[in-house]
Amino acid sequence: MKGLFITLEGGDGAGKSTQISNIESFFRERGFVVVHTREPGGTPIGEKLRDILLDRNNGEMDPVAEMLIYAASRAQHVAEVIRPAVNEGKVVICDRFTDSSIAYQGYGRGLGDVVSEVNASATGGLEPDITFWLDIDPEAGRERAKQTGEPDRLELEKIDFHYRLYEGYKALALAYPERIKRIDATRTPDEMKGEIFAHLEKLCAKE
């Protein structure tokens, strides 16, 4: 039996961690083996690449180099963790995936379509079964994120960058309405959980 691949997306302060725990409980209670992972990272090689990507001292990183390092982390992650787990019938819940690169590097950095092309190679065409985009306005998200510690290299970007990547998520949600479910992240965590669980029930009924 094939498993499921679920991803969560959104800008800063959208509340992904809480909803990831909820999704994990949803599947564990139904007897599934769940793999919770994240990007960048998720493998020993990926975690080293993550340190490079988020290091605030790497302010001079070239945008193309940045896109390729995210893609390198993803290629390793798909090969070593995600694809094998899904093939074994597990439920993989991943904090960010290719949509993040399209939003942050494609729209945020302005690299455009090349990001999808590079990522098609990195993932070997693997796509999530469902993606939850936790939608929060960049200004509000930034305010919330401030309360959770020191900002990393991407979080330090000017607000314009965050508005551009927000446009990226909006465009992705429009382009892939079957896969990407928009969840209003200004609602309470419990309301968001209810909406997410309704989508998961439907997805499980289809499988």
- Which of 5, 6, 34, 39 lies at the binding interface for ligand TYD (CB under 6 A)? 39
Query: How many angstroms separate the Cα of 91 from the Cα of each of 8, 26, 48, 161?
Result: 14, 11, 25, 33
- Which of 6, 12, 133, 168 lies at the binding interface for ligand TYD (CB under 6 A)? 12
Task: Please identify, using beta-carbon distances, which residue of 184 and 201 lies nearer to ligand TYD.
Answer: 184
- Which of 78, 111, 154, 192 lies at the binding interface for ligand TYD (CB under 6 A)? 154
- Which of 3, 40, 106, 138 lies at the binding interface for ligand TYD (CB under 6 A)? 40
Q: By the 8 A CB rule, do 37 and 77 touch? A: yes
Find the DSSP H helices in the chain: 16-29, 44-54, 63-77, 83-87, 98-101, 114-123, 138-146, 159-175, 189-206
- Which of 136, 155, 166, 181 lies at the binding interface for ligand TYD (CB under 6 A)? 155
User: Which region, judged by CB under 6 A, interacts with ligand TYD, from 18-26, 75-83, 150-158, 166-174?
Assistant: 150-158
Q: By the 8 A CB rule, do 177 and 199 touch? A: no
Q: Please, which of residues 58-77 interact with ligand TYD by CB under 6 A?
A: 70
Task: Please identify, using beta-carbon distances, which residue of 37 and 100 lies nearer to ligand TYD.
Answer: 100
Q: Percentages helix, strand, coil for the chain, rounded to the nearest 5?
A: 55, 15, 30
Which residue, chain included where needed, has tokens 């509340």? 15
Shortest gap between Cβ of 30 and ligand TYD (angstroms)?
A: 26
- Which of 7, 101, 123, 131 lies at the binding interface for ligand TYD (CB under 6 A)? 101
Q: By the 8 A CB rule, do 199 and 130 touch? A: yes
- CA 101 – CA 122 distance, rounded (Å): 12
Chain positions contacting ligand TYD, by CB under 6 A: 12, 38-40, 54, 70, 95-96, 100-101, 104-105, 152, 154-155
